C-alpha cells in the first residue's frame, strides 16, 4: 500500500511538473513573438547608468522574509547557490545575511541587472561596493563569476526528457 501511495504521489508530482514545463514553453514562445522596444540605455539597467552594481540582502529585515527570499532565489529563481553550501567558497561567514546576499546577486546578474531583479520582497538592495571577499567572488557584469562556466546538467537536457526519465525510474521502482 505504501509503495502505491508513493507511486501515486510521484505521478501527481510528475504531472504537475509536465504541465508547468509545457505552460512555460508556451509562454516563452508567446513572449518571443511580442516586439520589444528597447531604450538606450536599457531602462532599469543600472550597470550603464552608474557603473557596476551588485545586489545584496538588507540588514535588519525579518529573518523569516530573508529566509523565504533565499529559498526562492536558490529554488525557483535558479540562482547558483553551490558556493554557499558547506565547503563552498562563500559558505563562511555562515550567516543568513551573507548567504542571501550571494544568492540575490547571482540571480540579479543572471537576470539582466534590472532593478526588479533585486527586490526579493523588499529584502534586498543595490550597492556599488563589491561585496566579494577572500575566495568568495560575487559575479558582476563583464567580470562574471569565478565558478564553473559550464551549464548545469539540467540545461543540457530539455525538461520533457527529465519528465520521461523520472517516469521510467518510477516504473522500474514499481516492478521491484
Q: Tell me the per-residue pLDDT of 34-78, one tens digit each, with 9 for 90 and over.
A: 444 333 333 444 444 457 999 999 999 999 999 999 999 999 999
| Cα separation, 157 vs 92, whole angstroms | 33
- Distance, in Å, from the CA atom of 73 to the CA atom of 93, rounded to the nearest integer, reads 19
Higher per-residue pLDDT: 86 or 15? 86
How many CB atoms neighbour CB 54 within 10 A?
A: 24
The pLDDT assigned to 29 comes to 46
Omega cis (within 30) before 98: no
- Cα(173)–Cα(15) distance, rounded to whole angstroms? 18
| Residues 81, 75: Cα–Cα separation, whole Å | 9
Tell whether the model's pLDDT for residue 82 goes beyond 90.
yes
Is the CB of residue 56 less than 8 Å from the CB of residue 104? yes
Q: Which pTM does this prediction carry?
A: 0.56
Domain boundaries, the chain: 59-127
Amino acid at each position: 500500500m505504501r509503495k502505491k501511495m508513493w507511486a501515486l504521489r510521484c505521478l501527481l508530482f510528475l504531472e504537475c511538473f509536465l504541465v508547468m514545463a509545457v505552460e512555460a514553453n508556451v509562454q516563452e514562445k508567446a513572449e518571443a513573438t511580442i516586439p520589444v522596444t528597447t531604450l538606450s540605455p536599457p531602462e532599469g539597467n543600472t550597470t550603464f547608468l552608474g557603473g557596476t552594481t551588485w545586489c545584496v540582502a538588507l540588514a535588519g529585515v525579518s529573518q523569516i522574509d530573508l529566509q523565504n527570499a533565499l529559498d526562492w532565489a536558490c529554488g525557483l529563481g535558479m540562482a547558483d547557490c553551490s558556493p554557499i553550501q558547506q565547503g563552498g567558497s562563500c559558505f563562511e561567514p555562515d550567516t543568513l545575511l551573507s548567504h542571501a546576499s550571494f544568492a540575490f546577486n547571482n540571480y540579479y546578474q543572471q537576470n539582466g541587472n534590472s532593478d526588479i531583479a533585486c527586490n526579493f520582497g523588499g529584502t534586498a538592495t543595490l550597492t556599488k561596493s563589491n561585496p566579494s571577499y577572500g575566495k568568495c567572488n560575487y559575479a558582476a557584469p563583464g567580470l562574471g563569476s569565478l565558478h564553473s562556466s559550464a551549464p548545469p546538467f539540467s540545461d543540457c537536457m530539455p525538461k520533457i526528457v527529465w519528465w520521461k526519465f523520472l517516469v521510467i525510474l518510477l516504473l522500474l521502482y514499481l516492478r521491484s
